[in-house]
Amino acid sequence: MKLVTALFAASLMAAPLAAGDYDALGKAMKQAWPQVATVAVVCDSAASKGAVDAISGALSGMKILVVDVKGPQDMGKALGTLGARHPDAVVLVAGDKVAGDGTSAATFLIQRMAAAKIPTAATTEQGVRQGAALGVGPGTGGKLLANAKVSGVAGVAIPSGATQI
């Protein structure tokens, strides 16, 4: 019983930290891409529930489309869903085991979205190097980063003041 209580208390303390991880990203997206009204999040929704909640809070006023994937084998189906729903942008969940920054599934997603003129945003430098059009958050040291090549392919503006990678 003590272990359950300790784990529950730890999860409550970690929630505020995760919530702030996406605030700067939400602000940067709203300023750089004011046309964005619908944002997709492709992740294992059960494992990334805290991050999805934090993204929803950071992107208030925008519609959030969560596409649940349990493994790389689900990415084709996820792209079909995204194609049918037409989000304006995609946000990567950094720690997601399926489509998080650094995974082959994230690379696949980023490339397909850019080709469809849908930009991807991340909270880590790795995500921007991987092809996200912009990134800011704890994984960038708080710096606003932009991938100029991908921004051009996706047809979106590079945020002013961004360091280009």
Mean pLDDT, residues 132-150: 94
Residue 118 and residue 88 in contact, taking contact as beta carbons nearer than 8 Å: yes
pLDDT tens digits for 11-45? 333 334 355 889 999 999 999 999 999 999 999 99
Which runs of consecutive H residues, i.e. helices, occur in 22-143? 23-32, 49-58, 75-85, 104-115, 125-130
DSSP 74: G
Cα 124 to Cα 8, 33, 46, 131, distances in angstroms? 27, 19, 22, 11
Return the pLDDT at 11.
39
Domain ranges of the chain: 18-164
In terms of CATH architecture, what is 18-164?
A: 3-Layer(aba) Sandwich (3.40)
Region of residue 131 (left: phi > 0; alpha: psi -120 to 50; beta: else): left
Tracing tokens 């051009």 back to the chain, one arrives at 152
Pairing of the two strands 134-139 and 145-146: antiparallel
Residue 127 token pair? 């995500």
How many residues are recorded in the chain?
A: 165
pLDDT tens digits for 71-102? 999 999 999 999 999 999 999 999 999 999 98
Return the pLDDT at 7.
36
Radius of gyration from C-alpha coordinates of the chain: 15
Provide the sign of the torsion angle of the four alpha carbons 68, 73, 78, 80, taken in this order.
Answer: negative
Q: Which residue would you say has higher pLDDT here, 155 or 8?
A: 155
Return the pLDDT at 3.
37
Return the pLDDT at 13.
38
